[in-house]
Amino acid sequence: MTGPIHELIELFARFPGIGRRSATRLVFHLLDMNPEFAARLGESLLSFHQRIVRCGVCANMSDSDPCGICTDRGRDKTTICVVENVPDLWAVDAGGTYRGRFHVLHGLLSPLDGIGPDDLHLEQLLERVAAGGVAEVIVATRPSVEGEATALLIRRTLEKTAVKVSRIASGVPHGSELEYADARTLERAFADRRELP
Amino acid sequence: MTGPIHELIELFARFPGIGRRSATRLVFHLLDMNPEFAARLGESLLSFHQRIVRCGVCANMSDSDPCGICTDRGRDKTTICVVENVPDLWAVDAGGTYRGRFHVLHGLLSPLDGIGPDDLHLEQLLERVAAGGVAEVIVATRPSVEGEATALLIRRTLEKTAVKVSRIASGVPHGSELEYADARTLERAFADRRELP
């Protein structure tokens, strides 16, 4: 099978979570839509990578360097939240609890995948902290072997500085049932228990 | 929120079945992929509508007029299968049972949606039949009020010609359990029962 319809289906089907069936539905939907939409989507994709830059301060990906978060005067400059990747930054930011700055690692320590300490841009984090004005670094990597190893590495990297290094809590998620929590989650929830006032 | 990442998320989220969450995942996946892929997808979309034409014979959508199916010499020219839309044509064709030609209505009779007899290009179908050489028209519209009404309209449109007009069977689908079949499906399955030899 050839032609523009098949070509587009093949391309859409390369995205994770989009099978051939979904890709076919998307393309036929596109065929029924205003041609302007396909053109806008096409233009947006064509220039996408050129319009995205990595922030020289926090390594966030956006259309400006430094990024909008680093230049946002409304944010608390005394805290840096360290995240694995940009989607995690978005998730923490959308949560609304944290209103400080970020540092994006673009990965986690994972010797099996060939990701060592030098691949996580920790010198940049150390420089930011050494420059002064930062009171706390909150490590918000995921609670996994790699996430914990990365958190320990960050604490070690920053131990010569006076900064406080903390780790987000791991435990039973809000609204879920203990019945469905795995043993490791329960272990963490008990280990990190806090005294009620 | 602005910028190229949000812009692309908004565009992807306009597709049916892709929510904001899936759109965000797609865009971040794109960010990690080879920029060449986004460029190829962009180019394919940009020229998509210009490269698609409607077949002047059967109203199929492809990159040529007449379409590849109408010019395929290996197909039986004596039967025309009438389908609601191009995805249905693809489904029937992929099934492999039917190897004749098609006629695409691009809709079904639906007075409530303002789709009347004049919107279904039936003159074109009548012309094809009147031109001779067609022995049977198989109406493969879906088994619904609109699909049945359309089938009756097609039979009426063609009744001045000598062509045989048939309708695909409706009944309990292969591999499914009767327990889950709805009353209307069972009704059709009993009404269309055939005598075993």
Element (H, E) at B89: helix B86-95
CA distance B110 to B150: 9
* Gap between the Cα atoms of A65 and A111, Å rounded: 31
**Residue B31 is assigned to a structural domain of this protein:** yes
pLDDT band at A2 (very low <50, low <70, confident <90, very high): confident
- What secondary structure does DSSP assign to A119-141, as a single string? GGTHHHHHHHHHTS---EEEE--
Closest partner residue to B3 (CB to CB) among A35, A46, A62 is A62
Q: Is the pLDDT of residue B184 over 70?
A: yes
Same domain, B155 and B88: yes
ipTM of model? 0.80
In a domain, B183, yes or no: yes
Contacts of A50 in chain B (CB under 8 A): 35
Contact yes or no for B107/B131 (Cβ under 8 A): no
> Average model confidence (pLDDT) for chain A?
93
**Are B75 and B139 members of one domain?**
yes
Q: B100 lies in a domain?
A: yes
Look at residue B1 and tell me whether its pLDDT is greater than 70: no
Nearest C-alpha in B relative to A89: B28
* CATH number of the structural domain spanning residue A155: 3.40.1360.10
- Residue of A16, A35, A39 with shortest CB distance to B29: A16
Mean pLDDT confidence for A14-42? 93
What is the domain count for chain A? 2
Quick one: B34 and B97 in the same domain? no
Q: Looking at the structure, tell me whether residues A97 and A138 fall in a common domain.
A: yes
Q: Which of B30, B51, B72 is the last residue of a domain?
A: B51
Classify residue B65: in a domain, yes or no: yes
Rounded to the nearest 5°, which phi and psi values hold at B191? Answer: -65, -35
Residue B67 has pLDDT above 90, yes or no: yes
pLDDT classification of B87: cutoffs 50, 70, 90: very high
What's residue B134's pLDDT? 96
Interfacial residues of A (vs B; Cβ cutoff 8 Å): 3-5, 7-8, 11-12, 14-18, 22, 24-26, 28-31, 35, 37-52, 61-63, 68, 85-87, 90
Query: Once rounded to an integer, what is the mean pLDDT over residues A129-149?
Result: 95
Q: What is the pTM of this model?
A: 0.79
Q: What is the CATH number of the domain that holds A20?
A: 1.10.8.420
Could you tell me if A47 and A75 lie in one domain? no
Distances (CA, A) of A156 to A7, A85, A161, A164: 50, 21, 10, 12
- Overall average pLDDT of the B168-181 stretch: 90
Which structural domain, as residue segments, surrounds residue A38?
Answer: 4-51
Contact A24 B62 (CB under 8 A): no
Q: Are residues B134 and B180 in the same domain?
A: yes
Same domain, B169 and B88: yes
pLDDT at residue A56 greater than cutoff 70? yes
Nearest to A31 among B8, B17, B61 (CB): B61
Task: Kindly determine whether residue A48 and residue B4, on different chains, have CB atoms separated by under 8 Å.
Answer: yes
What's the rounded mean pLDDT across residues A75-88?
96
Together in a domain, B161 and B135: yes
